[in-house]
Amino acid sequence: GARGAFGRPAPLPQTGWERLRELWRLDEQQQFPEETVNIAKSAFTAGVVGWLYGGLPAFVSARKAFIESSHGEIFQNRADAVQSAHRAGLRSFIRYGWRWSWRVAAFATVFNVVSTGLSAYRDKTTISNFAAAGAFTGALFRVHLGLQGLAGGVVFGTAFGVPAGGLLMAMYGLAGETLQEKRSRERRELYEQRLAEWQSRLSRTEILGQTESNAQGRPEMERATEL
């Protein structure tokens, strides 16, 4: 507590590994950095998109197949037949939606973790970070198919990472700065503010100590004069 109140503020991270560790460290408000929060948000969004992408066509296809194959079946009424068709479609929606959901979410998460980590380590955001992240993610998801699958994954991942990175860089250009630049600026401003506060406290402490020393020395001088 005393060190946090009176000690010199911790210096800014100087190495890539220090910046990487900061991505997974809670700040004073017990919050993760914006980049880390965005990784979690993008994973959730990718999961929803993947579920809809895989589930909706499966729902329509299963419902249609149920209707075509149930002409000879007997239902209690029309509502019962409609509900049965919907249940068949819903089962396919859940089954195939989940298959796509976790794959898309995992791909997006690995891609964002690698690209964000590269940007933090290099202390700059470039399209090459996204291309490398795409190549690594594509290779990771196709490595079980052997060398040919690995090469195809690299090509697919790079082809995905370059336009995705270009789109994000364009958005950063409209915003005026990248997330890495914003974080570096905010971190520098916070450090300068804390350093100024620390120097101000240090100056007041020195003045207070000098005042107390003068106050203690005055009675001694008076006693010496009396003698």
Contact 59, 89 (CB under 8 A): yes
**More reliable by pLDDT, 6 or 5:** 6
Contact 82, 121 (CB under 8 A): no
Write out pLDDT tens, residues 98-108. 999 999 999 99
Each domain of the chain, given as residue ranges in start order, spans 35-176, 179-226
**Per-residue pLDDT, 200:** 82
In this prediction, residues 199-218 reach a mean pLDDT of 68
Write out pLDDT tens, residues 28-65. 778 888 888 999 999 999 999 999 999 999 999 988 88
